Amino acid sequence: MTRTIPKVELHCHIEGAALPDLVRRLAARYHIDVGGLFDADGGYRWHDFTSFLEAYDRAASVFKTAEDFADLTETYLVASALEGVIYTEVFISPDHARRSGIAYADYLGGISEGMRRAEESHGIVGRIIPLIERHFGPEAAIKAAKTAVHTMDERVVGFGMAGDERLYEVTDFAPAFAVAAEAGLKLTCHAGEVCGAESVRATLDAIPVRRIGHGVRAIEDADLMRRLADEEIVLEVCPGSNVALGVYAGWPRHPIVRLRDAGIKVTISSDDPPFFHTTVGRDYRMVQDTFTLSDREMLAFTQTAIDAAFCDETVKTRLR
């Protein structure tokens, strides 16, 4: 029974966790036009990676106040706790805050407050990873990195990059990552999702990351797989997201078990759950059912995630 397996999520974008109903409600409250954002069933409308990122950017734009973000974060963490999640790292985005017109301190404060409330009511522990967005370009990235290190909170533990992997070179963003590394933040970066193994290799060569967001397309290159295993790089695998975005034509084709069997450290996360009609509980369940894994094997994904979490050891000891 997957429901009873403790789960740890290392890869979820906070705005990407917003349920369509909440986005509709806030859009009405703030008189924001969200025409075309939803399909006939009320879910998010997108048809490929580019239109997904556009839909994501639009949904993010309806959150305006610290309380909007506190409510979003508390709602997401409580729902996760009810699926057995004990610890979650959420990605936040200084660029999306700026575009929404909310001061970064209020944005961060709201998200942190939502985590405090969820921990108090349901025991789930949350930590925060500010991200730069690749499609907003290297100049915005440097500014976002400076914003992120200037205004910290005890829950901020890492720094990363999401966005359109097809744009720019990863080396263009090395200065932004250097700002974060200098401030003591641990690094992760999306790669090997829409682009292939060469994107993962370029990321490892350019940025001192401990984890890769997705990274699943490393499966296309045996040398890279050996490198990931040898260097103990952890993959934040989001199988439901990959299947929804068409990276793999169905769950049976997903390489999560082949990556694990090659000795690579693999974890399970939901990415942007309502966009992909998933939840972290469903992702765990689909992996278990599709590949007929035992509860012990599922628990191993959670243990790998605890080891790879960016929080300090005291928190990890409590989780184990």
The residues assigned a catalytic role are 193
Binding residues vs ligand ADE (CB under 6 A):
13, 16, 56, 162-163, 190, 193, 241, 271-272
Q: Which lies closer to ligand ADE via its Cβ, residue 74 or residue 272? A: 272
**Strand order from edge to edge, sheet including 158-162:** 7-13, 85-92, 125-133, 158-162, 186-191, 211-214, 234-237, 265-268
Distance in angstroms (rounded) separating the CA atoms of residues 145 and 193: 23
Binding residues for Zn(2+): 11, 13, 190, 271
User: Minimum distance between the CB of residue 13 and ligand ADE, rounded to whole angstroms?
Assistant: 4
Distance in angstroms (rounded) separating the CA atoms of residues 235 and 93: 21
Distance in angstroms (rounded) separating the CA atoms of residues 239 and 224: 20
Tell me the backbone φ, ψ of residue 212, rounded to 5 degrees.
Answer: -120, 130
Residue 201 contacts which entry, Zn ion, ligand ADE, none (Cβ below 5-8 A, type-dependent): none
Q: Which lies closer to Zn ion via its Cβ, residue 160 or residue 281? A: 160
Stretch in the footprint of Zn ion (CB under 5 A) among 56-64, 70-78, 267-275, 306-314: 267-275
Q: Which lies closer to ligand ADE via its Cβ, residue 60 or residue 66? A: 60
User: Minimum distance between the CB of residue 300 and ligand ADE, rounded to whole angstroms?
Assistant: 24
Tell me the backbone φ, ψ of residue 34, rounded to 5 degrees.
Answer: -115, 25
Candidate residues 71, 74, 113, 271; the one interacting with Zn ion per rule CB under 5 A: 271
Answer whether 319's CB lies under 8 Å from 125's CB. yes
Q: Which residue has the tokens 């959150």?
A: 63
User: Minimum distance between the CB of residue 294 and Zn ion, rounded to whole angstroms?
Assistant: 28
Distance in angstroms (rounded) separating the CA atoms of residues 156 and 158: 6
Binding residues for substrate: 272
Residue 15 contacts which entry, ligand ADE, Zn ion, none (Cβ below 5-8 A, type-dependent): none
Stretch in the footprint of Zn ion (CB under 5 A) among 25-33, 67-75, 264-272, 285-293: 264-272
Answer whether 216's CB lies under 8 Å from 183's CB. no
Which one-letter DSSP state was computed for residue 252? Answer: G
Stretch in the footprint of Zn ion (CB under 5 A) among 21-29, 266-274, 285-293, 305-313: 266-274
Q: Which residues bind Zn ion (CB under 5 A)?
A: 271
